[in-house]
Amino acid sequence: MLLVATTVVVGTGAGVSAQRPPTVAAAANLNFALTEIANQFKVDRGTSVEVVFGASGTLTRQIQDGAPFELFLAADEEFPNQLAKAGLTRDAGVVYAVGRLVIFAPNGSPLTVDERLNGLARVIKSGKAGRFAIANPDVAPYGKAAESVLRKRGLWDAIRPQLVLGDTIAQAAQFATTGNAMGGLVAYSLVLGPGFAERGKYAVIPESDHRPLRQRMVLLKRAGATATQFYDYLQGKTAKAILRKHGYGVPQ
Amino acid sequence: MCDVADRRLSVRILQRSPIPLDLDFTCDPGDVLAIFGPSGSGKSTILRSIAGLYRPEHATIRADGEMWSNTASKAFAPPHRRAVGMVFQEYALFPHLTALGNVMTALGHRPSAERRSRAEELLGLVHLSDHQDRRPHQLSGGERQRVALARALAREPAVLLLDEPFAAVDRTVRRRLQDEIDELRRTLEIPLLLVTHDFDDVVRLATHLLIPTTAARSRAARWPI
Amino acid sequence: MDWAALRVSLWLGAGTIAILLPVGIWFGRLLAIHQFRGKVLVEALVTVPLVLPPTVLGFYLLVMFGARSPLGQAFQSLVGQTLPFSFEGLLLASAIANIPFVVQPIQRGFEAIPSDVRDAAACCGLTPWQRFTRIEIPLAWPGILTAAILAFAHTLGEFGVVLMVGGNLPGETRTLSVAIYDRMQAFDDRSAGVMAATLLVIAVGTLMLTTTLSRRVGVRRG
């Protein structure tokens, strides 16, 4: 009986969504960068898009389940490729940015930051290690990269009991910066965001320590004109400058 | 005579469970039939069957010149289509309505313009005019009983059913109420059934007596014998 | 303050009540009045959403109605969109999750009416519909009102199932509770704080309303 009532409501309400601006799914590391680009897009082109941030894996799953996104900016290449293979995208898409990982420690933390994670090794050895935040490697590419960095430095097993996993890289950054953890491995683009400079210190992790965080975006099959416009805009000069400002590498 | 036959109540009930019943009786207009027995003997069930609130396994109930129940022919008139007035053991007044409102509820068969005045008249009959705007919780036990009676009479019933009407009131109030019922039956000219476990009621009011028993088919007898 | 999110939350609350109250009144009354074999099982089933983690409900809805399921695909070809990630899907999830909050108070409301009173109404010549509207509803309305208020407040607080089934789509499935989470992830604590305070005020307000109502009703009944 409930299902019948809902179907009636759906049938009559289906047209309403048509007027809304297109929804773009974006990996959480793009929080500041993409918001700025979308605002600039509105100024330059006069139309807008709505952005929903989440973990790439979660967003991929939602798209597979029918979520009405028109453009997907992932934090890696595997998730968009998965969607392309399933026939849900227009094409294979393009790499729009390359991300970087940083190790972050909030003010007052016993952890000292450096690109080789010596500070982390030291605090673990001292027995004074508190919680350490990374994104969930299953759904967030930045989390997967964090895991490979920790493994490379031989610290994965030792730090494992101390890990807190954020469902997205943004949540991991939250844990790392609010003093609930002694620090974490988070996205460079997030610590460059407003208000972060005063909260603690960070060191950028060398690219050679993990597989490159090549971030690919794809247009979904249902993408309309505005979404396509935005896709092109993201590959243009203005967008690239903004991405660079937020710590990303951009393809030439 | 045709007239009396039309207004006679005739009841035939046969049932094995949940309460075993085997009855065959009639009640003429102006008679007061007391149904007497201990609790659990099925007295209330008999009243409820006549009112249409309960459907026994086998029943044939005729009243008001109509067939109210007949399990053989599957005829059954629901309670709201039987001209029955019933006073319940705990009065069952509508708590959200005033005494007047309660009585007016039973006057649906009258044109709406007349309902209020007729209800006031009925409450006057049971000597409750002063309290007609009170809610049941503002009335005493005896007063509630009168409202229940007025409401039952409002229906212009073909049969009046009283279920342990004096169970919850004290001696003096009981006396007064018994006298009023006695007075009523003289003016009403309809069959009146009274369920009670107090023999005093039988003595003071009954013209006939029925004691439900499973030993044999129960019939009504004239009272006093 | 995300006004679109507030609107979605309020519509979700209102829509849930609109769907559940008629169902609840019919069903709650049925449970209050009738005895039947298996009634205990039915009553237990009604309570299940209370103890079910919202994620379980979300999971089943996604699996049964997502674009990958046959039912979901059929639905999509019929209506043009999937049930999850739509406001309507959220409404369905919310309705299911709120069944116990609606059915139980209404059942109690009808149970509080002595069966004698119902019988007396029949003996007064009232048809079943008249009994329902003139006697039962006026006596059971506190239960019905409590059900409406509880379901509304509970809907406003839903989070897990909204996130799983709704997908946080602005203006469509981003409720106020999800918007708070969203703003926190975006490091916008100020917005999150404003919205959290709003939800708190609404929650306290509805509780005060229920308490005042029940007190006032108590006085009327004596």
Question: A213 to chain C nearest CA, in Å?
Answer: 21
C217 or B169, higher pLDDT? B169
Cβ atoms of C3 and C194 within 8 Å: the answer is no
Pull the structure tokens for residue A47.
Answer: 């139309």
* β-strand pairing of B159-163 with B192-196: parallel
* Residues making up chain A, counted from first to last: 252
At residue C27, the pLDDT reads 93
* Residues making up chain C, counted from first to last: 222
Neighbouring C-beta atoms of residue B120, cutoff 10 Å: 17
Question: How confident is the model over B96-124, as a mean pLDDT?
Answer: 92
Pull the structure tokens for residue B35.
Answer: 């149904």
CB-based contact (8 Å) between C83 and chain A?
yes
CB-based contact (8 Å) between A67 and chain C?
yes
Instruction: Write out pLDDT tens, residues A187-199.
Output: 999 999 887 878 8
Give the separation between CA A111 and CA A103, rounded to whole angstroms.
10
Pull the structure tokens for residue B177.
Answer: 């109420």
Helix count and strand count (H, E) for chain B: 7, 11
Neighbouring C-beta atoms of residue A4, cutoff 10 Å: 8
Scan residues 21-40 of C and list those with Cβ closer than 8 Å to A. Answer: 23
Rg (CA), chain C: 20
Give the separation between CA C69 and CA A9, rounded to whole angstroms.
21
Question: How confident is the model over A65-89, as a mean pLDDT?
Answer: 94
Q: Whole-number mean pLDDT of chain A? A: 90
Q: Per the confidence metrics, is the pTM higher than 0.95?
A: no
C-beta atoms of C127 and B80 within 8 A: yes
Burial class of residue B112, CB neighbours in 10 A (0-12, 13-18, 19+): exposed
- What does the DSSP 8-state code read for residue B132? T
Per-residue pLDDT of chain C (222 residues; tens, 9 = 90+): 889 999 999 999 999 999 999 999 999 999 999 988 889 999 999 998 888 888 888 888 888 888 888 888 888 888 877 788 889 889 998 999 999 999 999 999 999 999 999 999 999 999 999 999 999 999 998 889 989 998 998 999 889 889 888 888 888 899 999 999 989 888 888 999 999 999 999 889 888 887 887 776 655 554
At residue A194, the pLDDT reads 84
Question: A200 to chain C nearest CA, in Å?
Answer: 15
At residue A27, the pLDDT reads 95
Q: Measuring CA to CA, which residue among A237, A216, A192 is closest to residue A31?
A: A192
Give this complex's ipTM. Answer: 0.89
Distances (CA, A) of A154 to A146, A150, B140: 12, 6, 87
- Give C67's contacts in chain A (Cβ within 8 Å): 64-66
Distances (CA, A) of A180 to A55, A109, A177: 21, 10, 8
Q: Which residues pair with B60 in a beta bridge?
A: B12, B70
Question: How confident is the model over A129-138, as a mean pLDDT?
Answer: 93
Q: Measuring CA to CA, which residue among A151, A186, A179 is closest to residue A165?
A: A186
| Cα–chain center distance at A232 | 20
Coil/strand/helix, residue A97 = strand
Instruction: Write out pLDDT tens, residues A107-117.
Output: 989 999 999 99
Amino acid (1-letter code) at residue C123:
C
Question: C219 to chain A nearest CA, in Å?
Answer: 37
Residues 6+ apart with CB under 8 A from A190: A29, A31, A32, A169, A170, A173, A196
Residues 6+ apart with CB under 8 A from B12: B23, B24, B58, B59, B60, B61
Coil/strand/helix, residue B14 = strand
C-beta atoms of A170 and C72 within 8 A: no
- Give C172's contacts in chain A (Cβ within 8 Å): 17, 20
- What does the DSSP 8-state code read for residue A129? -
Give the separation between CA A35 and CA A195, rounded to whole angstroms.
16
CB-based contact (8 Å) between A5 and chain C?
yes
Preceding amide of A251 cis, omega within 30 = no
A25 → chain C, closest CA residue: C169
Cβ atoms of A111 and A144 within 8 Å: the answer is no
Neighbouring C-beta atoms of residue A8, cutoff 10 Å: 11
* β-strand pairing of A213-219 with A94-99: antiparallel
Give the separation between CA C47 and CA C55, rounded to whole angstroms.
17
Chains near B with 3+ CB pairs less than 8 A apart are C
C-beta atoms of C122 and B138 within 8 A: no
pLDDT tops 80 at residue A8: no
Pull the structure tokens for residue B184.
Answer: 């009523």
- Give C179's contacts in chain A (Cβ within 8 Å): none
**Which residue bears the tokens 């009959």?**
B125
Coil/strand/helix, residue C118 = helix
**HEC string of B52-119?**
CCCCCCEEEEEECCEEEEECCCCEECCHHHCCEEEECCCCCCCCCCCHHHHHHHCCCCCCHHHHHHHH
Preceding amide of B212 cis, omega within 30 = no
- Give C187's contacts in chain A (Cβ within 8 Å): 31, 170, 173-174, 193-195
Coil/strand/helix, residue A201 = strand
CB-based contact (8 Å) between A135 and chain C?
no
Coil/strand/helix, residue B55 = coil
C-beta atoms of C117 and B94 within 8 A: yes
Q: Do chains A and B touch (3 or more CB pairs under 8 A)?
A: no
CA angle A181, A183, A188 (to 5 degrees): 135
Give the separation between CA C10 and CA C15, rounded to whole angstroms.
8
Give the separation between CA A139 and CA B13, rounded to whole angstroms.
74
Give the separation between CA C23 and CA A142, rounded to whole angstroms.
47
